[in-house]
Amino acid sequence: MRVCSIDYVYHALLNPEFDKVEAILKDGLRPLSDFPDSDRWQELEKHMPGFYQNLYANIAEPIINKPYSNSGIFVTPIDFQKLPASIMNNKSRFKIPITRLDPDYCVLTYVIQDERVSLPFTPANLEKTAEIWTADMVQTWFAKDLSKMFYYVPQIAVYQPQGIAVKREDVDIME
């Protein structure tokens, strides 16, 4: 069964500090670096200064070929509602059409055979990723390490300057 969408990306609402639906509908999904006064940003910068800039340098800059400008937004093509056993199956989320992502500011990334893969965000690469990442693969690798739940599985790192626009019809609230 195909669990990676080629038409949508998903962002689960997991962080109460930032995941306020009305604010996201108004301002869109924005990178953590847009909130320099937040406790989460302050804590990261204190304990891992330059973490997001290094992540960008290693994963995105070779593909995007633009200087680092923000910490990015990470979304996934994985539709966890198709994986009933997943801890993400019943999480509220945004289901965002891929047409809202500017491919010039996006990188498709995952780990396979112990190597980080970073690809341009194109329909062909997304299709190939959807074929590789079957339900069994996602179930094997998602949250293998709970401190880095999405580390191995497909993600799209989005570095659009204005974040990602979100509309009311994108909201998928689970009870």
pLDDT score at 166: 96
Q: Which domain holds residue 25?
A: 8-172
Does residue 44 lie within any of the structural domains?
yes
pTM of the shown model = 0.93
The tokens of 101 are what? 């992502």
d(CA 91, CA 81): 9
pLDDT score at 175: 59
Would you give the DSSP letter of residue 152?
Answer: S
Q: What share of the chain is helix, strand, coil (3-state, %, to 5)?
A: 35, 20, 40
Q: What is the pLDDT of residues 107-147, one digit of tens each?
A: 999 999 999 999 999 999 999 999 999 999 999 999 888 88
Per the structure, the count of domains in the chain is 1
Does residue 3 lie within any of the structural domains?
no
Does residue 1 lie within any of the structural domains?
no
Does residue 43 lie within any of the structural domains?
yes
Does residue 42 lie within any of the structural domains?
yes
Q: How confident is the model at residue 23 (pLDDT cuts 50, 70, 90)?
A: confident
The tokens of 147 are what? 């401190």
pLDDT score at 17: 59
Tell me the C-alpha to C-alpha distance, in Å, between residue 75 and each of 37, 46, 47, 63, 96.
23, 25, 24, 17, 9
Q: How confident is the model at residue 19 (pLDDT cuts 50, 70, 90)?
A: low
pLDDT score at 22: 87
The tokens of 21 are what? 């639906």
